[in-house]
């Protein structure tokens, strides 16, 4: 099960965020395509939350980096706690393609 949220901003354009219901080791197989108009000012943020119907969403981990720091290919994004400390071994395995 998943649901979508679209975020629009003049400097970035349109960005699609997908939310999924999954277990301990989720696999999303999703592609995100968006246009970045001002790469030097853009940030990419990966956020993982536990969404459920009985309570508020629980923050699990995040990582934010400048768009210009993204490198193409397969990468592990190491997640951090809300205070910025390591959440090892939690990570997201992503593939980046910039055209």
6 within 8 A of 32, measured Cβ to Cβ = no
47 within 8 A of 40, measured Cβ to Cβ = no
For residue 58, the surrounding DSSP H or E stretch is strand 58-66
- Please name each of the domains of the chain with its CATH number: 4-96 (2.60.40.150)
> Which segment, 16-20, 22-26, 54-58, 89-93, is predicted with the most confidence on average?
89-93
Q: What is the pLDDT of residues 7-46, one digit of tens each?
A: 555 555 545 555 555 566 666 667 777 788 888 988 888 8
């Amino acid at each position: 099960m998943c649901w979508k949220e679209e975020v629009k901003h003049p400097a970035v354009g349109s960005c699609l965020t997908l939310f999924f219901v999954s277990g301990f080791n989720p696999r999303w197989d999703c592609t995100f395509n968006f246009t970045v108009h001002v790469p030097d000012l853009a940030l990419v943020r990966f956020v993982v939350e536990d969404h459920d119907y009985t309570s508020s969403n629980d923050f699990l981990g995040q990582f934010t980096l400048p768009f210009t720091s993204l490198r193409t290919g397969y990468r592990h994004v190491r997640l951090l706690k809300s205070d910025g400390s390591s959440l090892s071994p939690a990570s997201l395995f992503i593939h980046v393609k910039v055209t």
